[in-house]
Amino acid sequence: MERTLGILKPDCLRRRLMGKVINRLEDEGFAFVNGMIKHLTQKEAEGFYYVHKDRSFFDDLVEFMTSGPVFIMLLERENAIAKLREVIGATDPAQAAPGTIRREWAESKQNNLIHASDSLENAKFEIKYFFSNKSGS
């Protein structure tokens, strides 16, 4: 079994779509190993998204991710990283495949409801960033 990290972003919680997204993930065979609702601080958001620090959208991303609570999920299933990326769809909902979470419910490229780890290396970092080694590795 493989583990990955997902984050339901502030727009997902603000729009009360958390239950729909969680149901979809469960329907896709994901098991919820751990989860927490958290309001990220600026420092936490900057640290989590540090790989994007030199990109033009970094400040807007940090501002968005600190604009309200998020639901951080430690998920598990076979091929979890690739499957979660498939289920959520492309970053830009206009380019996401039909039936994906972002195509169904996301409003924009920034307000796209959910974050998902994009590689095994990033999943390991992201899981450790929010969860202890005991529950996350």
pLDDT tens, position by position, 66-100: 999 999 999 999 999 999 999 999 999 999 999 99
What domains can be seen in the chain, in order of their start residue? 2-131 (3.30.70.141)
Element housing 4 (H / E): strand 2-8
> Residue with structure tokens 């990290």?
5
Is the pLDDT at 20 greater than 70, yes or no?
yes
> How high is the pLDDT of residue 137?
45
> How high is the pLDDT of residue 133?
55
Q: From the candidates 115, 127, 130, 136, which is the catalytic residue?
A: 115
- 0.95 exceeded by pTM: no
Cβ atoms of 41 and 65 closer than 8 Å: no
Assess whether 115 carries a catalytic annotation: yes
Average pLDDT (90-118) is: 94
- Residue 128: which residues within 8 A CB-CB, separation 6 or more? 136, 137
